[in-house]
Amino acid sequence: MPDAAPVKTRPTAPEKTTLAEAPALDSAIADLGTGLRAWVHVTLAQRAKLLERLHATVSAVAEEWADTAATSKGLEPGHPLRGEEWLSGPYATLVAIDAYRGSLEKLAKGESPLAGIPTEPAPGDRRRAHVFPQNPIDNMLLSGYTGEIWFTPGTTDAAARRDAGLAQLHPTTPGGVGLVLGAGNVTSIPVLDVLYELLANNRVAILKVNPTQDVLVPVYERALAPLVEPGFLRIVRGGGDVGAYLTTHKGVDHVHITGAAPTFDAIVWGTGAPAARRKRENRPQLKKPITAELGGVSPIIVVPGVWSDADLRFHAEHVATMRLQNSGHNCIAGQVVLLSAEWPQRDAFLAALRTAYDAAPARPVWYPRSDEKLAAAASGYPSADWCGDGTRALIEIEPGEDPAALETTEYFAPVLGVVSLPGNGQEFLDNAVAHANDHLVGTLGANVLIDPVTETALGAGFERAIAELRYGSIAINTWTAFVFLTPTLAWGGFPGATLQHVESGIGIVHNALLLDHVERSIARGPFRPLPRSLSALTGKGRMSVLPKPPWFVTSRTGASVSEGFTRFRMDGDWARLVGTLVQAFRA
């Protein structure tokens, strides 16, 4: 390794403030300046070893992590949905750590992280890399699921392979100190954002935990001890005043936030009339770079075809899961179902959807101010059906009714809408793509459900329509949460957002192959579960050995299977995995 470049750090003298926490925050940032000087001397091989240690410490607290998170959201022991917190917390973190470690090991040997990964053309002068599955374990646990990274138009294979590695191509060049303003809804998000700061950008980080996750701070401190001890990470609590202090601190070089667009605007432009003027004149009050993931209104495009009754039930449960997982408190929760008004099975699908939406297990609506969002939906759409325990709105937009509020408000609560569009086949799909692009706020994730016969019939027209969807993640016969959970895929809004028009955010995270030139991620899943997926053996669709994905809110064994999958990622115990797979077949 060459000698490290000199690290230039700005003075971190105390800010002029009356904030009680200021001295501790100043001290934390000073520690990170020292940690940054140490980080650039850590070789790639040593960084891979550090991640091995991190895998062990995360594994050691995984059960406490999942239990604490579930209980904090009102899911008491024995609740059928507690498995969500295993998958979206320690599972997501462990698979990301392992994927980053693999990339570092390749780079340490002088290889590209894309070495051995096939690429091929994609529509619109693009290339795509088939980045999932990476190994037989992926194939087994997530049978029938695949993932692709699509590069920006004009990117060549040579450029994609040459530039894979990002900051780890120059590991002795410091990236400064990054501030991570952690998300409050999903417990792995703050950890994954810290990892991306460190590995994609060579930035040590100060993580301000969202107050909704304060209960997890002791767990984070032990899970991330290999980063905290050498000064690569500091974890702090606090509200908006602490966040505001940190964003303007002279010792912070970069800000990353997972949250909502109004919070982003308040950081970048300020509040009130002066902020509006600054935004209009493009004079941001924030004087340092910022990246963000900000959510949006996600479409679920249901392409008409000839579906069996079992298909209708399965995908009705699929759509209910997209909305109700984590009680709808997800930036990628499906919110607007786009249906063909001419689909002969439209009414049958809606009936199955009402049944699934109503029958999903009861759970608290726990995220702050959700009651206000539900009240807004009730006021805007008095004809809404209130399902389940009365906290789930199902809004079917009737002819002449205005869908604007539904399509431009990220409710972040159990509110699901249905909008009908004209056409069948390609005509409907093109209408739905245009509608999603032009009417739904945000560009984070879109979902498409299509049976294999119809997809085959549309052929190149289907892939062209997918290319025209302006979303950073697209899930075909799966949910965009699969993209979030798959570390070799990238997560973020569609490229092109600006400070003034931030859409679903700026930049990407996850992306464990450390790829440059990323435009979007595409996940594909099986239209039918086992045993109906056996039709794939005759050339129709994708084969899957999963009777029902464990993340479905209707999975009878989802809690035990999610825990079992996580424990296998922790220790690789094949004997115990057999029992987990038996549970999966009982879903």
Q: Which residue has the tokens 């919070």?
A: 263
Residue type, 53: R
CA distance readout (Å), 55 to 94, 509, 571, 576: 6, 19, 10, 19
Query: What local confidence, expressed as pLDDT, does residue 323 receive?
Result: 98
Query: What local confidence, expressed as pLDDT, does residue 359 receive?
Result: 96
Render pLDDT for 184-195 as a digit per residue (tens, 0 to 9): 999 999 999 999
CA–CA separation, 526 and 533 (whole Å): 7
511: its two tokens: 């992306």
CA distance readout (Å), 572 to 84, 168, 576, 577: 21, 28, 9, 8
CA–CA separation, 479 and 526 (whole Å): 11
CA–CA separation, 114 and 134 (whole Å): 11
Reported residue count of the chain is: 587
72: its two tokens: 């904090």
Same topology for domains 22-113+168-259 and 298-548, yes or no?
Answer: no
CA–CA separation, 68 and 404 (whole Å): 38
| CA 169 and chain centroid, separation | 26
For residue 133, whether the previous peptide bond is cis, meaning omega lies within 30 degrees of 0, is yes
E-assigned strands of 428-539? 445-449, 473-476, 490-491, 505-506, 509-510, 518-524
372-389 burial: b if 16+ Cβ within 10 Å, else e: ebbeebeebbeebeebbe
490-525 burial: b if 16+ Cβ within 10 Å, else e: bbbbbbebebeebbbbbbbbbbbbbbbbbbbbbbbb
Query: What local confidence, expressed as pLDDT, does residue 575 receive?
Result: 93
Start-to-end C-alpha separation, the chain: 51
Instruction: Yes or no: say if 282 and 500 are a contact pair by the CB < 8 Å rule.
Output: yes
Q: What's the CATH class of domain 298-548?
A: alpha beta
| CA 194 and chain centroid, separation | 14
The dihedral through the CA atoms of 261, 263, 267, 269 has a sign that is: positive
Residue type, 387: C
241: its two tokens: 């005043």
Q: Which residue has the tokens 């296998």?
A: 568
Q: Which residue has the tokens 């997809």?
A: 455
Determine which helix (DSSP H) or strand (DSSP E) holds 578, and give its type and residue range: helix 574-584
CA–CA separation, 481 and 484 (whole Å): 5
200: Cβ contacts below 8 Å, ≥ 6 apart: 166, 167, 509, 511, 514
CA distance readout (Å), 41 to 11, 289, 340: 21, 25, 58
514: its two tokens: 């450390």
389: its two tokens: 């325990």
CA distance readout (Å), 377 to 183, 385, 399: 24, 11, 18
Every domain of the chain and the residues it spans: 22-113+168-259, 298-548
| Helices 558-571, 92-108: crossing angle, 10 deg rounding | 30
| CA 217 and chain centroid, separation | 21
Q: Looking at residue 585, what DSSP letter applies?
A: T
pLDDT along the chain (587 residues), means of 10: 38 60 97 98 98 98 98 96 97 98 98 97 97 92 96 98 98 98 98 98 98 97 98 97 97 97 95 91 96 97 98 98 98 97 98 97 96 96 94 93 96 98 97 98 98 96 98 98 98 97 97 98 96 84 89 94 96 93 85
CATH of domain 22-113+168-259: 3.40.605.10
CA–CA separation, 551 and 318 (whole Å): 10
Q: Which residue has the tokens 């984590």?
A: 326
Q: What is the pTM of this model?
A: 0.95
CA distance readout (Å), 452 to 84, 298, 456, 510, 541: 29, 23, 6, 30, 5
For residue 526, whether the previous peptide bond is cis, meaning omega lies within 30 degrees of 0, is no
Query: What local confidence, expressed as pLDDT, does residue 178 receive?
Result: 98
Determine which helix (DSSP H) or strand (DSSP E) holds 192, and give its type and residue range: helix 189-201
CA–CA separation, 450 and 302 (whole Å): 6
Instruction: Yes or no: say if 539 and 509 are a contact pair by the CB < 8 Å rule.
Output: no
CA nearest to 146, candidates 406, 553, 424, 488: 488
Instruction: Yes or no: say if 86 and 65 are a contact pair by the CB < 8 Å rule.
Output: no
Q: Which residue has the tokens 């053996």?
A: 537
